[in-house]
Amino acid sequence: MYFEHPLIKRQCVQQRDYQVELARRAARSSTLLVLPTGLGKTVVAAMVIAQVLHSKGGKVLFLAPTRPLVEQHYRSLQNMIEGKRIGMMTGEVDPLERELTFLENDIITSTPQVVSNDLKNGRLDLKDVKLIIFDEAHRSVGNYAYVDVAKAYQDFDGLVLGMTASPGSDKAKIQEVCSNLNIKDIEVRTERDPDVAKYVQSIGMDWVEVELPPEMKALSRSIQSLHEQYIRELVSLEVVDKDRVMNKRYLLEMAATWQARIRGGEKSRTLYKAISAQAKAVKVEHALDLVETQGMSALRAYLQRLKDEAASDAGSKASRDIVSSEHFQRLFDEAQAVKAEHPKLSRVMGVVARQLTDRPESRILVFTHYRDTCDLVANKLGKVERAKVAKLVGQSDRKGEKGLRQKEQVGVLQRFRDGEFNVLVATSVGEEGLDVASTDLVIFYEPVPSEIRSIQRRGRTGRSRAGNVVIFITRGTRDEAYYYSSLNKEKAMRRRLETMKDELSGTAGTKRKGQKTLDGF
């Protein structure tokens, strides 16, 4: 059975009652839609667009954070919507051409930075825009361009649809998103909801625990000792709470506070010393993270970068202090001598090899947090029989290696969809929103502490067919802490969203009574 609407192509969109109901609600009130990846946020958006243009006319803006996402939505809307002109605007398009694109089309997909800049320069007017869609709406905080566009749009009292798979567990942040986008209602669906469950493909979850080899454990202890030295330095300055856990987040928060005090005119040698000690502690903690969760190749590359930074004219005092210490020099030599590699590497190769042996037609996505690890894993998997491997990394260039421009990212994804590659090794650029085809297996080289990123990673499989997720965890390391942190935050996010949904509806503590029919759409 297909969804029918004057502006939706016939026999194009399969009718799913939950999508129709969500679209019906979103077409009436500015809504934050929270829907797991793979359950059709873009389809709901197309239904809302069709209804708004059919009933109100005018224009629709569909915003997404990156050019690959903008192009993806442009193609999706062209495939679903008929009778309306669809255009696309990105920063690579000449401003005059963007003006024409905006004037000549009914639906425009764009990055928010382009719209924000064109609004400021008077090249764009929102008076005819009846709906703005903010994809990956959890970004609508701070000084991100979504906030500027939404603020400008408030003058026109138009409709807003924010879409995300994971707005986060922080209640204040969710409230900030809703406030910035002028959201009136929250609609949440999970895989467990009765009207959704029948469309959900099963996703098998496996956790593979590995043990660091003895020589890597010894190196970890040596790095930990150097880290504790810089923490003691901070504590001696009496600028931190000595009873607090001195993790990276706390240290970064404290550094921001000290820097704000200095910018405010406070002249204090203690604060400058604290900022330097904090920078050293954070840099060494990163090395600890690498040896525990990533491997020796990533650690050695990082230690060499620290040495290079210390030797350069632009190098920081923190880097010079670390590198000049006897402890670091000893540590550097120890790292070069370690022959072992992280046990995750061989286990990942084994999992991929088995998958391609059992199901040669499989598509596999491997997530790594760090670029060095991405390079190593891609290189190793290239030696696995039947594996045709590609990398998906961000735009930033590094010494000796260029990043992938957004146009190149689009090309890699298309070749993965077309089957030219069957294994894609990706950094965080592959997590957010991009349709990376229906993957049969998603591998987390490491857990991530962010519930948003964890949900996005998992959502790359089980879209049109059953899939599996394998998460690698190093015993007794921050891998374990990151995994449980993400799990707890995800549970908290679901609870807070339900509470806020009731609060926005004015029905806190009572069951919402929305009419679950297709009438009135």
**pLDDT band at residue 507 under the 50/70/90 scheme:** very low
10 Å Cβ neighbour count for 209?
Answer: 14
CA distances 437 to 112, 186, 356, 401, 461, Å, are 25, 28, 17, 27, 9
Radius of gyration of the chain (CA): 25
- The CATH architecture that domain 215-337 belongs to is Up-down Bundle (1.20)
CA distances 291 to 223, 366, 453, 500, Å, are 9, 19, 22, 41
Which of the following CATH numbers is that of domain 203-211+342-482: 3.10.310.30, 3.30.1280.10, 3.40.50.300, 3.60.20.40?
3.40.50.300
Residue spans in the chain of domains classed CATH 1.20.1320.20: 215-337
pLDDT tens per residue, range 19-68: 999 999 999 999 999 988 778 899 999 999 999 999 999 999 999 998 88
- At residue 25, the pLDDT reads 96
Q: Taking residues 378-405, what's their average pLDDT?
A: 85
User: DSSP class of residue 8?
Assistant: B
User: Of 43, 45, 68, 71, which is closest to residue 131 (Cα–Cα)?
Assistant: 45
- At residue 516, the pLDDT reads 35
Q: Taking residues 320-335, what's their average pLDDT?
A: 96
Q: Of the given ranges (357-366, 386-395, 399-408, 412-421), which has the lowest mean pLDDT?
A: 399-408
Amino acid at 242: K
Strand 441-444 and strand 159-164: the pairing is: unpaired
Residues 6 or more apart whose Cβ sits within 8 Å of residue 16 = 40, 43, 199
Which CATH code for domain 17-199? Answer: 3.40.50.300
Residue spans in the chain of domains classed CATH 3.40.50.300: 17-199, 203-211+342-482
**pLDDT band at residue 358 under the 50/70/90 scheme:** very high
pLDDT tens per residue, range 362-381: 999 999 988 889 999 999 99
> DSSP string spanning 337-375?
H-----HHHHHHHHHHHHHHHH-TT--EEEE-SSHHHHH
Strand 129-135 and strand 203-210: the pairing is: unpaired
- At residue 517, the pLDDT reads 34
pTM, to two decimals: 0.73
- At residue 179, the pLDDT reads 94
Cβ 99 vs Cβ 124: under 8 Å: yes
